[in-house]
Structure formats: structure tokens, C-alpha cells
Structure 1
Amino acid sequence: FVNLYKKYKHKGFQMLGVVLDKNRALIKEFAREYNINYPLLVPDEKILIDYGPIIYIPTTFIISANGYIYKKYIGYQPELVFEEDIRLLLRKK
């Protein structure tokens, strides 16, 4: 995801990582270890209601600029799958 964010952020693409661990020190260490260059957040109840519970890890959402779920992926997906959908969504802007 780091590479996708670098590649598309200048086109208006935003990325947000959702982490289930609430330990801020562990989250910071994880971000540092994996060179994560986008914001990470711990979901509150509203996020879990809006997007549903995260049962499987990883669960990935591509969300449109107006906040709607464009695509939801459960489980590992190759980066190319995300990139194709990101490009399609950015073209629709």
C-alpha cells in the first residue's frame, strides 16, 4: 500500500489504514517498521457500524471521494488488483 499511496496521492488518492490494536506504541512501531506513509486509525463504533465489523484480516475497502464503499476485499490481494480499481475510481472523478 505504501507504493500505491506514493504513486497516486498527487491525483487526489487518499489512504487510511485501520488497525485493530489499541496500543499506540505498537501502532507507531508497526508504522515505522513497515515505512507506512499514510495515517493509521483505530476504528470507533461509528466506523464499525458504517463499514461493518472487520472479521477477517486483511479486509480492504476502496472508498469513493463521497464516502461510499466502491469495493471491499477480504483476504490477501495482489497490489495490481487494488491499482486497477484505484485507477478506475480516479477516472470517474
Structure 2
Amino acid sequence: MKKILIGLVLVVLIFTGCSGGNSQKGSETSEKAENQSAQKLSKLPSFELKDLDGEIYTEESFKNKVLLIDFWATWCPPCRKEIPGFINLYKKYKDKGLEVIGISLDEDINKLESFVEEEQINYTVLIGNKEVAQAFGGIQGIPTTFIVDRDGNVVFKQVGLASEKKFEQQIKKVLDK
């Protein structure tokens, strides 16, 4: 029964967010919808998650930082495609107050650890769960990425694949405030 449920979840994810993300066609409409979604989730929700070393992080761990929070998994091709951009953005803006947080929805922690090491991910990777996905408004597909300002306001939401440039534009808006 568990395998059937996991299979159904995978099918849903593949046909929603993990199918390659937003196309350029209709991007103005999807951008409006994303910003409306960001407004619905107006504040960074409370969470308590562990990283790969077992250290516990909460929303308070990132107080007064600009956050790029990405829900992703190692088995999701669009998620994997975004990671080099997140690595670059973190290198470029960490000294200005940016924190990048990857919330993994993987079940196989060993595979996750290997992937993080192989890809040389330089930002915080946390192990996600259903509760945190619900707290963020119910993650419907991955990748799903949020940008949160220093006051804990969710200012941007992207469902599906997006370019490093698009995320950088959104980050600069809040870093410069």
C-alpha cells in the first residue's frame, strides 16, 4: 500500500511542478498567480527541521536574513537543474545577508547526502516533511521556491523551474531595501 501511495505522489509531482516548470508562454499570467500565492502566504511559517548532520533549524535560525527557500528532491530533473544557480547566488550574496535553504523531500537520506556532496552544495539543506510542506501552503509540485525578506514576509513564490537571473532579480529587490 505504501508503494502505491508513493507511486501516486510521484505521478502527481511529475505532472505538476516536476515536469520542467513554467514555460515562457503565459509567463505574465503565471507571474501574477505566483505573486498572489505569495500574498496568501504572507509570513514565513514556523518550522523545525534537521540538516544532514542532525542539527535542528527553525525559522528563528535565519532571523534578519533574506531567504531563498527551495522545496526540491534529488529525483526531480528541474530541481537538479536549478541547484547550480542557487550555489552561485549564495556565493554572490551571502555576505549581504542572503541565506539559501534547500528543503529536501527525499525519502532516501543516504542518496541525499551523496548528492549534496557530489554537487558541492554550499548552502543549508534541510530534511523536509509533510508538516512543513503544509505550513508553506501545501507544496503542489517541485521545485517550489519562496523568497522571504528580512522581516519574515514572503515576497515571491515560484512553482516550477526558473532561471538564476529571475531569482537574482527578486533577491536584489529585497536585499537592497
Highest Rg: 1 or 2? 2
2:170 is the alignment partner of 1:85: yes
2:151 is the alignment partner of 1:59: no
CA RMSD of aligned residues (A): 1.4
How far the C-alpha of 1:45 sits from its partner, in A, is: 4.9
**Pair 88,18 (structure 1): closer, same or farther in 2 beyond 3 Å:** same
Which is further off, 49-58 or 81-90?
Answer: 49-58
How far the C-alpha of 1:33 sits from its partner, in A, is: 1.8
Deviations 1:24-53 (A, max 9, x none): 211111111221101111224552233122
Letter in structure 2 aligned against 1:3: N
Match of 1:7 in 2: 92
CA–CA distance in structure 2, aligned partners of residues 62 and 87 of structure 1: 11
Match of 2:124 in 1: 39
Match of 2:115 in 1: 30
Taking only the aligned residue pairs, the percentage that are identical comes to 39
| Structure 2: gaps of 5 or more residues | 1-85
Match of 2:159 in 1: 74
Aligned length in residues: 92
CA–CA distance in structure 2, aligned partners of residues 11 and 23 of structure 1: 34
Residues 105, 129 of structure 2: 8 Å contact kept: no
Normalised by the size of structure 1, how large is the TM-score? 0.88
Deviations 1:42-88 (A, max 9, x none): 22455223312222111111111222211000111111000011111
**Pair 66,46 (structure 1): closer, same or farther in 2 beyond 3 Å:** farther
Normalised by the size of structure 2, how large is the TM-score? 0.48
**Pair 22,68 (structure 1): closer, same or farther in 2 beyond 3 Å:** farther
Letter in structure 1 aligned against 2:154: I
